[in-house]
Amino acid sequence: MSDEDSQQGGFLRKLFHRKNNETVRETIEDLMEEAAENGESDFSQHEQLLLNNVLDLRGRRCENAMIARADIVAFPKDGTVMDLAELMIEQGHSRIPIYGESLDDIVGIVHVIDLVKGVLQNRNDVKITDIISDKIKFVSPEKGVMDLLKEMQQDKIHMAMVVDEYGGIDGLITIEDLLEEIVGDIEDEYDHEDEPVICNQNNGNVLADGKAELDEIKNICGVDLYDGLDEECAEDVDTLNSLIFHLIQRVPTRGEVINGVGGVKFRILEADPTQIKKAMIIRPKDNAVQNN
């Protein structure tokens, strides 16, 4: 038996022999705290990150994970099947909510499979209402995301609309959105993948995506983020994401400022639970200006 298997076995024994009236959540918290105090862990770094995300998710509500109303992609029920097909291709969505009078009048959703069936019927009279499904859920912004995830799994529902106290649509949330709260972005082959943003700002700082490569940042903006790193570190990192994670050994939060090497600082502009999406690279000469 490997050391890793032994560690996992030890964790499972502790988990299933937890104290009376102690929840799984409390047991995991105790084990992680114990591991931190002893300088040892039954979990890999990635597993610790995922467990922390799961624990943090307990306090999160739908309003924290939803797609805002302004960003919802929806389609009118009196539209044409071919127009809906074009919208799905353009947006890369497999499900689209359908509305009647307005966005506040959601009548159901259309799945791409039902859309294809309608198109393959090769009938001129196929309407959106012929292929619509009413398997959609309406929830309040205050509902806990873990409770919603459990209900959506049980009911086999993939999309929920978040409504305010007056019945208006506040946002949209999918099972994918909820899972991304734990594991980060889930991209499929139809997600639009743009080149990482790397650009100089007027004040001399650099705006860059977390997935931007350090070599590209140097070539485009003249900022050598390898400068000053020890040889072992330089071999382990190749993107802005991996560099910042190496510096602080965790995923930073939005708005956090990280001290780099040689006076460089990183202001986190966007981040999810597992990675940095966008950051501002603050050159040494601009630190005093940026932090006033």
Give the pLDDT confidence of 222-261 residue by residue, as tens digits.
889 988 888 777 777 888 988 998 888 888 888 899 998 8
Interval 260-282: pLDDT, tens: 888 899 999 988 766 788 999 99
Global pTM reads 0.52
For residue 286, pLDDT over 60 is answered with no
Q: Which residue has the higher pLDDT, 23 or 143?
A: 143
116-152 pLDDT, tens digit each: 887 777 666 788 988 898 888 999 999 988 888 888 8
At 188, the pLDDT band (50, 70, 90 cuts) reads low
Q: Going by DSSP bridges, is the β-strand pair 137-139/159-163 parallel, antiparallel, or unpaired?
A: parallel
Q: How far apart are CA 73 and CA 93, in angstroms?
A: 9
Q: Domains in the chain, ordered, with CATH?
A: 3-43 (no CATH), 63-183 (3.10.580.10), 198-290 (3.30.465.10)
In the chain, % of residues over pLDDT 90? 22
